[in-house]
Amino acid sequence: MKILVVGAGAVGGYFGGRLVQAGRDVTFLVRPKRARLIGERGLRIVGLGEDTTLHPRTILADEITSTFDLVLVSVKAAALRSAMDDFAPAVGPDTLILPVLNGMRHLDELAGRFGERRILGGVVMVSTTVDADGDILRLADVQSLTYGSRTGPPPDELVGVLGGAGFETRLTADIVGEMWAKWVFIAATGAVTCLMRATIGEVASTPGGTEFAHAVVDECAAVAEAAGHPVPKESLDGTRKTVTAPHSSLTSSAYRDLVRGRPVEVEEIFGDLVRRARLLGAPVPLLSLVTLNLRVYQRTRA
Ligand SMILES: NC(=O)C1=CN([C@@H]2O[C@H](COP(=O)(O)OP(=O)(O)OC[C@H]3O[C@@H](n4cnc5c(N)ncnc54)[C@H](OP(=O)(O)O)[C@@H]3O)[C@@H](O)[C@H]2O)C=CC1
Ligand SMILES: CC(C)(CO)C(=O)C(=O)O
């Protein structure tokens, strides 16, 4: 199965790199600067005691001459539209597209462009960043990819391709529910860390921090429930435990972007949740505050 990984950043570089290591037929669609760096330095996965150098196949948008069986989309939300233009020639009649962006909005954009049927849902749990050398730096020992069809038959053909590649994978019958659970998790983690400009542990160990984190989780979970996708108790308990852990160095990709002065996926992670909450009549004062805070950041960033 020919796999095109769109974006060799923190997430695409990590999962795509693992698939390369496992001998899968992977090509990375990259832009010229990233292509040069990977050509010179290799794609390196570092951190947590690892130092792996891979030499994957890369391709630029104007070099795509054939279609792929699976397109794994791992760009940030702001780059999605131009990425869709770039990878469109790789999409044939039977190509499946598996996006792993946080939030939910990208599904409509991808379905609008390529058709509902081929757009799978995906959830990644990983904590990686691109470091100053351009390497994929692992920050925590989590690495899972959950995926499934939203409309059609389960993509069973992916099980053997994505499985056994050094990260956990799960094909689920309820990927939309899983995406909501991840959205609650990432919105809560992102809200706590971005609004307080601190790690989960720094907030949780400060008086009032734990109560704040619980209140954020309550809001996020209430939106999921109102939307018809209540987060299962076990998953919600896990989210609460994670966002209130006093010694945790966990942040979120949104927070890492914020402290580096980069664009944050404000609308996709927070704004869209607030918008849906309003439509559903769910009160979200804390999420509204985080959204406003980050919108101001976004406008004044430049
Ligand atoms: N990092 C994390 O720990 C996690 C992130 N996520 C989510 O995953 C998604 C991706 O995030 P992340 O990997 O961190 O982001 P990064 O910014 O690290 O990576 C995105 C990559 O996409 C590339 N890109 C953008 N446009 C194109 C294009 N047209 N063609 C080819 N490549 C392109 C960028 O390339 P270039 O170098 O050229 O700019 C960049 O390398 C986000 O939605 C994020 O919320 C989810 C779970 C964890
Ligand atoms: C799992 C977690 C919180 C890891 O950083 C994440 O999904 C993100 O930051 O986007």
Same domain, 158 and 184: no
Per-residue pLDDT tens for 204-226?
999 999 999 999 999 999 999 99
Enclosing domain of residue 255 = 178-300
Is the pTM of the predicted complex or chain greater than 0.90?
Answer: yes
For a pocket test of ligand 1, which of 11, 14, 124, 272 has the largest count of ligand atoms closer than 8 A to its C-beta?
11
Judge whether residue 127 has pLDDT over 80. Answer: yes
Task: Say how many Å lie between the CA of residue 250 and the centre of ligand 2.
Answer: 9
5 lines ligand 1 (CB under 6 A): no
At which of 154, 172, 190 does a domain end?
Answer: 172
Q: What total number of domains does the chain contain? A: 2
Q: What is the pLDDT of residues 133-180, one digit of tens each?
A: 999 999 999 999 999 999 888 999 999 999 999 999 999 999 999 999
pLDDT of 152: 81
pLDDT band, residue 184 (cuts 50/70/90): very high
Q: pLDDT tens-digit profile of 77-104?
A: 999 999 999 999 999 999 999 999 999 9
Do 50 and 187 lie in one domain? The reply is no
Residue 124 CB less than 6 A away from ligand 1: yes
CATH number for the domain that contains residue 50: 3.40.50.720
Ligand 2 atom nearest to 139, measured from its CA: 5
Structure confidence at residue 164 (pLDDT): 97
Residues 189 and 84 reside in one and the same domain = no
Identify the bridge partners of residue 58 per DSSP, sorted by sequence position: 28
On whether both 216 and 296 belong to a single domain, the answer is yes
Contacts of 158 (CB under 8 A, 6+ apart): 1, 70, 96, 98, 147, 171
How high is the pLDDT of residue 95?
Answer: 97
Domain match, 164 and 201 both: no
Rounded to whole angstroms, how far apart are CA atoms 274 and 293?
13
Looking up residue 219, the CATH number of its domain turns out to be 1.10.1040.10
Q: What ligand has the least distance to the C-alpha of 80?
A: 1
Same domain, 154 and 198: no
- Residue with CA at minimum distance from ligand 1 atom 33: 7
